[in-house]
């Protein structure tokens, strides 16, 4: 209940009580009337003077009381009228306030309704635009899906065509290889062999030599360790990086220096490559540079002089044909009879290899190691004999790395074993040759000596950048 209502209720209560009291006071007879009306019909003897005086005094007191009561009643009535007037004023004020508040709320409600109606219209328009855009996007997606399906079909067609082309290319390559083989076989005469077969033989021989060194010398240590560096704990990791060959026999060091002049620089960083270089150099010197493996030295020198003399009086083609014919005779007819000399050459190479490698490493020769090396030597002898019976000239070459002389990498006849890009190796200096290469001069008839072909590239190790 609001304060005006509370005031209104209280005023009603006061007004009701006052009115009830006024009614009672108005209705009740005055005291004098009550006295006179007590017994009107009765007659009494006339009062005496004292009783008359008392009666007059009591009548004046009753009149005073009546006047006081009337004054109080008039005051109460006036108060009631004042309260009624105040309540009417408050009611008017509350009605005015209520009217103003009602108008304000009506205006606010109208503004709110207008705002939400505008908002609703805006959202409806936005929904319509979004729905339109969604439909357009769905249509575009359908178009893209159709295009994608077409592209997939086109891709499948192209892929099938590419596979067909690849198959055709492989087939043509096979035909070309077969034709090359047929041409090489058809043009070859007698023991003439194609370049591809020589290349494969060199690759197998190089891989076999590499495996032999890795298997038997992977954990071997070179030379002697510097005692001063061994005693210092901070250099214990460098024991294999500082090789001392001062305790190796001087003759072995001289032989090693002839085979690999840069052996001291290779000992620490490239132990396996150094050992491959040693064995490859011995093979080239003893087997591939021989006039004919197994032929006694004096006879080989005599035939070499005859060949030199013929080269001075005959054409290159005629000399090559004579050389091929002579060595073909030795290979077919005299090779079985030269088995003892061939075995002597093989054992000499094994002994020399073991003599050098056992001296510069802490490894020792074993039967298994010698047996594997002997098999490599037999393959080398067969390859060397087959090379010298060709009418074309085949030369097994091994670049010699000399101190204070730069030998640069040549991509045409060298292959880097460091697996680096050939473009980055241009102009790079090589530090080691692990296996020789092979170059062919002339054709299958022994003519055109200016024609050259790299049958097998030399395997080299380039210096790091």
pLDDT for 153 beyond 60: yes
- The answer to whether residue 461 scores a pLDDT higher than 70 is yes
For the ranges 56-65, 261-270, 283-292, 375-384, which has the lowest average pLDDT?
Answer: 56-65
pLDDT in the model for residue 450: 87
Q: Report pLDDT digits (tens) over 399-410.
A: 888 888 888 888
Does the structure show a pLDDT above 60 at 49? Answer: no
Evaluate if residue 108 carries a pLDDT over 70. yes
Contact 198, 387 (CB under 8 A): yes
b/e sequence 130-160, b meaning 16+ C-beta within 10 Å: eeeeeeeeeeeeeeeeeeeeeeeeeeeeeee
Question: For residue 1, what are the contacts with CB-CB under 8 A and spacing of at least 6?
Answer: 9
Closest CA to 268 of 435, 401, 431, 408: 431
Query: Are the CB atoms for 36 and 59 separated by under 8 Å?
Result: no
pLDDT of 18 reads 41
3-state secondary structure of 435: strand
Q: What is the pLDDT of residue 31?
A: 45
Give the whole-number percent of the chain exceeding pLDDT 70.
Answer: 80
**Residue 196, H or E segment:** helix 195-217
Nearest alpha carbon to residue 195 among 379, 445, 390, 378: 390
Evaluate if residue 16 carries a pLDDT over 80.
no
- What integer pLDDT is reported at residue 357 of this predicted model? 92
- Chain segment 307-354, per-residue pLDDT in tens: 999 989 989 889 989 998 888 888 888 777 888 899 999 999 999 999
- 131 vs 18, higher pLDDT: 131
Cβ neighbours of residue 135 closer than 8 Å, sequence gap 6 or more: none
Cα dihedral: 90, 93, 99, 103 (round 10): -140
CB 291 within 8 A of CB 308: no
- DSSP letter assigned to residue 233: G
Considering the entire predicted model, what is its pTM?
0.56
The Cα–Cα gap between 394 and 383 comes to 11
- State residue 56's pLDDT score: 62
- Residue 206 contacts residue 376 (beta carbons within 8 Å): no
pLDDT at site 181? 67
pLDDT at 250 over 80: yes
Please, are residues 433 and 444 in contact by the beta-carbon 8 Å criterion? no
Residue by residue, DSSP assigns 250-313 as: HHHHHHHHHH-TTHHHHHTT-HHHHHHHHHHHHHIIIIITSSSTTS-HHHHHHHHHHHHHHHHH
Q: For the chain, give the mean pLDDT.
A: 81
Average pLDDT over residues 368-377: 94
Q: How far apart are CA 311 and CA 201, in angstroms?
A: 30
Whole-angstrom distance, CA of residue 403 vs CA of residue 262 = 6
Of residues 185 and 412, more confidence is placed in 412
At residue 448, the pLDDT reads: 83
Residue 455 pLDDT > 80, yes or no? yes
What's the pLDDT at 420? 78
Structure tokens at 131: 């729905």
Residues 6+ apart with CB under 8 A from 47: 55
Q: Report, in angstroms and rounded to the nearest whole number, the Rg of the chain calculated over CA atoms.
A: 67
Question: What local confidence, expressed as pLDDT, does residue 185 receive?
Answer: 53
What is the per-residue pLDDT for 348?
A: 94
- Tokens 């005629």 sit on residue: 318
**How many Å apart are CA 374 and CA 394, to the nearest integer?**
24
Q: Are strands 393-397 and 452-456 parallel, antiparallel or unpaired?
A: unpaired
Q: Quick: pLDDT tens for 19-31.
A: 444 444 444 444 4
């Amino acid at each position: 209940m609001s304060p005006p209502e509370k005031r209104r209720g209280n005023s009603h209560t006061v007004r009701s009580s006052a009115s009830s009291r006024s009614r009672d006071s108005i209705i009740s007879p005055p005291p004098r009337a009550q006295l006179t009306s007590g017994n009107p019909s009765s007659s009494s003897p006339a009062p005496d003077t004292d009783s008359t005086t008392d009666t007059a005094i009591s009548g004046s007191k009753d009149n005073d009381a009546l006047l006081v009561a009337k004054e109080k009643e008039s005051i109460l009535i006036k108060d009631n009228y004042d309260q009624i007037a105040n309540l009417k004023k408050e009611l008017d004020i509350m009605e005015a306030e209520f009217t103003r508040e009602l108008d304000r709320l009506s205006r606010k409600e109208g503004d709110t309704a207008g705002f939400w109606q505008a908002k609703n219209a805006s959202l409806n328009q936005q929904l319509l635009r979004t729905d339109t855009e969604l439909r357009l996007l769905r249509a575009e997606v359908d178009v893209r899906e159709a295009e994608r399906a077409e592209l997939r079909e086109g891709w499948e067609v192209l892929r099938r065509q590419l596979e067909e082309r690849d198959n055709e290319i492989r087939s043509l390559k096979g035909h070309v290889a077969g034709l090359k083989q047929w041409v090489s076989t058809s043009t070859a005469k007698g023991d003439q062999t194609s370049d591809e077969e020589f290349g494969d033989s060199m690759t197998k021989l190089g891989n076999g030599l590499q495996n032999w060194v890795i298997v038997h010398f992977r954990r071997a240590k070179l030379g002697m360790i510097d005692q001063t560096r061994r005693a210092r704990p901070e250099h214990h990791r460098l024991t294999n990086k500082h090789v001392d060959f001062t305790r190796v026999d001087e003759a072995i060091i001289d032989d090693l220096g002839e085979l690999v002049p840069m052996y001291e620089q290779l000992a620490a960083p490239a132990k396996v490559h150094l050992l491959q270089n040693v064995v490859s150099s011995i093979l080239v010197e003893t087997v591939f540079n021989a006039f004919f493996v197994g032929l006694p030295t004096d006879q080989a020198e005599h035939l070499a002089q005859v060949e030199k003399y013929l080269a001075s009086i005959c054409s290159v083609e005629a000399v090559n044909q004579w050389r091929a014919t002579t060595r073909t005779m030795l290979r077919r007819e005299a090779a079985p009879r030269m088995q003892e000399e061939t075995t002597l050459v093989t054992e000499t190479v094994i002994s020399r290899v073991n003599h050098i490698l056992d001296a510069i490493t802490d490894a020792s020769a074993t039967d298994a190691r010698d047996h594997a090396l002997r098999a490599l030597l037999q393959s080398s002898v067969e390859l060397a004999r087959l090379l010298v019976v060709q009418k074309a000239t085949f030369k097994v070459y091994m670049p010699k790395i000399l101190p204070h002389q730069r030998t640069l990498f040549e991509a045409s006849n060298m292959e880097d074993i460091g697996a680096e890009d050939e473009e980055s190796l241009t102009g790079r200096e090589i530090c080691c040759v692990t296996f020789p290469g092979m170059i062919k001069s002339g054709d299958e008839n022994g003519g055109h000596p200016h024609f050259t072909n790299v049958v097998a590239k030399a395997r080299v190790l380039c210096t790091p950048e």
